[in-house]
C-alpha cells in the first residue's frame, strides 16, 4: 500500500463516516418496516414512467424500423440489464427494430456465427442463441457451473470456429475451463480444464484456420488449445502480469498479447508457440487491432493517450500517435485506410490515417464512448458505451457523427448479423 492508496483509504472512510449507523432508521428495530418497503409504491410509479418514456417509444420506432427498406445486415446491440435485451439496429435507416428479450442478464461477451444467422450471448449460467432471421432468442443452453455460491458471473468470453460448427465458452473459476458447444445440435461437450483459479483466463482468440485457440490469463500465461483434440497443447508463461488483450494476424502466423504493466506487446509465433522479444509501446497498452492486410498492428495505450503502430514484419514499434484522453477501443475499416479509437474521457473518436499514421480531427460522440465496430460495407462506424443510452453512427466518408440512435440503458456490446 503506497501513500496514494493510503490517502484514498483515509479519504473514503472519512466521507463514509459522515453517515452514522444511528442516523439510519430501520437498522436496529426489527419490528419497524424497513424503508425499502415504504418506497415500493413510488418506485412502481417511477417504473411505469420509465416504461412509458423509454420502452413504448422503443417499440414504436421498432415498427417504423422494420417497415423501412431492409438492409443487407443488422447491427445487434446487447443491453446489459437484468433481464437483458438485444436491440437490432437497421443500418440503412438508423432506426431500431423490435427488441429481442433475453431470459437472463447478458455478460459482456457475445459472438455471431459466420453465416450471420445466429448470435450467441453469454449469460451467467450459459449461452442464449438468437435467431437473427426471425429476431427471437432461443432457450438458454445451460453450462455446468463450478461454484454454487456464485453461479455464473464467471463466463468470460466466447469464440466460434470459422466453420460455424463449434462455440467455445471460457469460464474463469476454480478450475477454469473452456467448454465446447456443438452449434448444430446445441449439445454441450466436455469442458477442457485449463488450470486453477490463479490462471484467471480472461480473453481469447481463434486462428483463422480454426485449429487453435489462444487464451490469455490474468497472470500473464498464454494457453494454447487445439480444437482438434480439445486439449491444452501448451502453456506459455510470459510472467508479465495483466494481459488484457490478444490479436492474431490474418495469416494466422503471429499472436500479439498486450502487457499493461510492462508497457509492452509480446509477439508469439504460432509455428513454434514461443514468445518473441517484447515490443515496447506506450503506458498501459490494452486493445490491439490489426489491419486487414496484416502489415500493421495498432495498440491503444490507455495511460499515455496514444496509439502505437507495430510493423508486423519487423515487430518494431513506430512513433506513438497522440489521440484523445482515455483511449479505449479501436476498429479498422475493411479497406484498412482508417483506424478509429474511442476516447472515454474526452468523449470523442479519433480517426487515424493508416497511410501516414497521423490522427485526424476528433469526432464528438457523447459521454464516455467505449465499444466501436465498423459496418462490413465500410460506410459507417458505430460507437456506444455503457454510460450511454444510444448508438452513434459516424459516416466514414465525411467523419461526421449522425443523429444518435436510442437503444436504452447500458448498451455494452455490438455485433453484426443478418436482418430479421
List residues near another protein by CB under 8 A: 2-5, 7-16, 18-19, 21, 24, 26-28, 30, 34-37, 39-41, 43-44, 80, 105, 107-108, 148-151, 153-154, 156, 172, 200, 202-203, 218, 242-244, 260-261, 283-284, 286, 302-303, 326, 344-345, 367-368, 386-387, 389, 409-410
- Compute the least distance from the CB of residue 379 to another protein, in Å: 30
Q: Where do the DSSP E strands lie in 24-109? A: 74-79, 85-90, 95-96, 100-101
Q: Which residues contact 281 (CB under 8 A, 6 or more apart)?
A: 258, 263, 264, 265, 299, 301, 308, 310, 317, 320
- Compute the least distance from the CB of residue 345 to another protein, in Å: 6
The DSSP secondary-structure symbol of 52 reads I
- Could you give the CA distance from residue 108 to residue 170 in angstroms, rounded to a whole number? 12
Strand partners, 347: none
- Compute the least distance from the CB of residue 51 to another protein, in Å: 13
- Compute the least distance from the CB of residue 58 to another protein, in Å: 17
- Compute the least distance from the CB of residue 83 to another protein, in Å: 10
The count of C-alpha atoms lying within 13 angstroms of the C-alpha of 304, restricted to the half-sphere facing its C-beta, is 21
- Compute the least distance from the CB of residue 171 to another protein, in Å: 12
Beta carbon nearer to another protein, 93 or 300: 300
Q: Closest Cα to residue 89, out of 352, 415, 363, 376? A: 415
- Compute the least distance from the CB of residue 152 to another protein, in Å: 9
DSSP for 300-322, written as a single string: EETTTTEEEEEETTTTEE-PPEE
Beta carbon nearer to another protein, 164 or 386: 386
Beta carbon nearer to another protein, 171 or 291: 171
Beta carbon nearer to another protein, 2 or 272: 2
SS (H, E, C) 214-262: EEEECCCEEEEEECCCCEEEEEEECCCCCCCEEEECCCCCEEEEEECCC
Beta carbon nearer to another protein, 85 or 93: 85
- Could you give the CA distance from residue 168 to residue 161 in angstroms, rounded to a whole number? 8
- Compute the least distance from the CB of residue 67 to another protein, in Å: 31
Beta carbon nearer to another protein, 135 or 412: 412
- Compute the least distance from the CB of residue 19 to another protein, in Å: 6
Whole-angstrom Cα Rg for the chain:
23
Q: Closest Cα to residue 394, out of 344, 354, 351, 337? A: 351
Beta carbon nearer to another protein, 19 or 271: 19
Q: Which three cell numbers stand for residue 286?
A: 490494452
- Compute the least distance from the CB of residue 282 to another protein, in Å: 12
Beta carbon nearer to another protein, 39 or 67: 39
Beta carbon nearer to another protein, 23 or 356: 23
Q: Where do the DSSP E strands lie in 118-220? A: 118-123, 126-131, 136-137, 141-142, 155-160, 166-171, 176-182, 187-188, 192-195, 201-206, 212-217
- Could you give the CA distance from residue 345 to residue 354 in angstroms, rounded to a whole number? 23
Distance (Å) of CA 377 to CA 334, 396, 417? 8, 11, 13
Beta carbon nearer to another protein, 45 or 60: 45
Amino acid at each position: 500500500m503506497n501513500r496514494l492508496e493510503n490517502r484514498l483509504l483515509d479519504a473514503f472512510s472519512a466521507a463514509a463516516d459522515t453517515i452514522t449507523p444511528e442516523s439510519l432508521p430501520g437498522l436496529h428495530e426489527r419490528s419497524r418496516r424497513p424503508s425499502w418497503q415504504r418506497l415500493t409504491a413510488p418506485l412502481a410509479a417511477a417504473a411505469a414512467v420509465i416504461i412509458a418514456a423509454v420502452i413504448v417509444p422503443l417499440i414504436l420506432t421498432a415498427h417504423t424500423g422494420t417497415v423501412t427498406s431492409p438492409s443487407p445486415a443488422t447491427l445487434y446491440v446487447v443491453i446489459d440489464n437484468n433481464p437483458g435485451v438485444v436491440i437490432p439496429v437497421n443500418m440503412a435507416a438508423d432506426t431500431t427494430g423490435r427488441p429481442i428479450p433475453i431470459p437472463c442478464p447478458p455478460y459482456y461477451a457475445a459472438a455471431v456465427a459466420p453465416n450471420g444467422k445466429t448470435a450467441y450471448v453469454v449469460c451467467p449460467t450459459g449461452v442464449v442463441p438468437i435467431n437473427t432471421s426471425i429476431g427471437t432468442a432461443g432457450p438458454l443452453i445451460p453450462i455446468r457451473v463450478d461454484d454454487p455460491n456464485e453461479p455464473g458471473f464467471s463466463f468470460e468470453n466466447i469464440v466460434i470456429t470459422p466453420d460455424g460448427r463449434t462455440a467455445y465458452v471460457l469460464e474463469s473459476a476454480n478450475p477454469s475451463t473452456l467448454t465446447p458447444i456443438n452449434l448444430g445440435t446445441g449439445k454441450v461437450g466436455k469442458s477442457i480444464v485449463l488450470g486453477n483459479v490463479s490462471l484467471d483466463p480472461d480473453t481469447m482468440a481463434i486462428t483463422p484456420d480454426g485449429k487453435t485457440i489462444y487464451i490469455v490469463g490474468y497472470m500473464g500465461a498464454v494457453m494454447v488449445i487445439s480444437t482438434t483434440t480439445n486439449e491444452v497443447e501448451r502453456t506459455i508463461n510470459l510472467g508479465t502480469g495483466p494481459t488484457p488483450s490478444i490479436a492474431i494476424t490474418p495469416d494466422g502466423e503471429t499472436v500479439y498479447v498486450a502487457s499493461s504493466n510492462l508497457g509492452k506487446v509480446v509477439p508469439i509465433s504460432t509455428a513454434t508457440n514461443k514468445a518473441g522479444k517484447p515490443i515496447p509501446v506506450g503506458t498501459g497498452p490494452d486493445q490491439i487491432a490489426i489491419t486487414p492486410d496484416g502489415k500493421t498492428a495498432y495498440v491503444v495505450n490507455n495511460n499515455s493517450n496514444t496509439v502505437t503502430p507495430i510493423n508486423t514484419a519487423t515487430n518494431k514499434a513506430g512513433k506513438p500517435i497522440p489521440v484523445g484522453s482515455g483511449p479505449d477501443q479501436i476498429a479498422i475499416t475493411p479497406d484498412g485506410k482508417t483506424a478509429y479509437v474511442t476516447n472515454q474521457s474526452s468523449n470523442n473518436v479519433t480517426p487515424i490515417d493508416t497511410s501516414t499514421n497521423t490522427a485526424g480531427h476528433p469526432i464528438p460522440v457523447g459521454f464516455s464512448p467505449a465499444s466501436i465496430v465498423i459496418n462490413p460495407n465500410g460506410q459507417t462506424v458505430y460507437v456506444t458505451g455503457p454510460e450511454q443510452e444510444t448508438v452513434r453512427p459516424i459516416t466514414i466518408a465525411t467523419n461526421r457523427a449522425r443523429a444518435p440512435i436510442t437503444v436504452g440503458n447500458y448498451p455494452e456490446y455490438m455485433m453484426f448479423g443478418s436482418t430479421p
